[in-house]
Structure 1
């Protein structure tokens, strides 16, 4: 009986979320709590934050831009990028990919600029008609310095207008 109740609840949430992934809907996805935990060869573990925003160009397909900053020692990192998300049906499950530009500043004064390719998979869990919690897994591959490539998990919030 419990499994049936959970299945019905998920179906109702999926039907309510359907309108949020339609053409013309705007999405803002901040990681305002700094809950971005990741691993790379250089800095082992770090915490950061960022914001993504975009628009659904077609049902289930959103074009996104992102900005981010991380002031972890010994490297400060600034990010600017673009990408897309594809939402499967109306369930909230999505895959995303994008290209970003990073500027790295080390505490010794050295700096480096690098391009990267990122992929992510996540789930938009609707708390209300317009607010989501969005856990995701991602991988960011750096073109010039693979030591700066990063695998991680993040927890963000989504606002759908």
Structure 2
């Protein structure tokens, strides 16, 4: 019985310590700046580089957010991409909520504008924020982009994000 009580107290203490160490990063009034790896095909604001049959496609971008209340950030992002024949301007606006301060789930409107047109997606994303310190986290995530244009298919992605909190 003593061992069970000690084990329960240790688990409770670790959980409380984890909550304390992450709650300050996602507190109201804080700012987050994030860069992700990802696919250039959805127009997202990430870093990517692909090469196939002599064609190289790349994209750069970043996003930032402001925590309007504890654990809820309003975010926006910008990016640029080039697939060798067409360049594009990418944009993103949305919100991200951190469940228990460590599990970010988000929804956003993402688009890509290029010569001759544009494409848009509704993005749904969930992941985990692994805090490396007071101001830095690694955020692996899964994302599904729902195409908003006629005939546009949805795209599933795996991302790795790096976020700074101020």
TM-score (norm 1): 0.74
Closer, same or farther: CA 49–141 of 1 in aligned 2, 3 Å: farther
Where 2:25 maps in the other structure, the secondary structure is helix
1:66 counterpart (37, 61, 77)? 77
Give the structure with higher Rg (CA).
2
Asked if the contact 2:40–2:81 (Cα under 8 Å) also holds between the matched residues in 1, the reply is: no
Closer, same or farther: CA 142–75 of 1 in aligned 2, 3 Å: farther
Does residue 127 (structure 1) correspond to residue 128 (structure 2)? The answer is no
1:101 counterpart (111, 122, 138)? 111
CA RMSD of aligned residues (A): 2.8
Give, in whole Å, the separation in 1 of the partners of 2:35 and 2:85.
Answer: 24
Give, in whole Å, the separation in 1 of the partners of 2:151 and 2:90.
Answer: 16
Give, in whole Å, the separation in 1 of the partners of 2:150 and 2:85.
Answer: 17
What is the CA-CA distance between 1:17 and the residue it aligns to? 0.7
2:64 counterpart (41, 53, 60)? 53
Closer, same or farther: CA 159–59 of 1 in aligned 2, 3 Å: same
TM-score (norm 2): 0.72
Where 1:20 maps in the other structure, the secondary structure is coil
Which blocks of at least 5 consecutive residues in structure 2 are unaligned? 1-6, 43-48, 51-57
Asked if the contact 1:13–1:126 (Cα under 8 Å) also holds between the matched residues in 2, the reply is: no
Give, in whole Å, the separation in 2 of the partners of 1:142 and 1:27.
Answer: 27
Residue of structure 1 equivalent to 2:38:
36
Give, in whole Å, the separation in 1 of the partners of 2:39 and 2:81.
Answer: 12
Give, in whole Å, the separation in 1 of the partners of 2:85 and 2:18.
Answer: 43
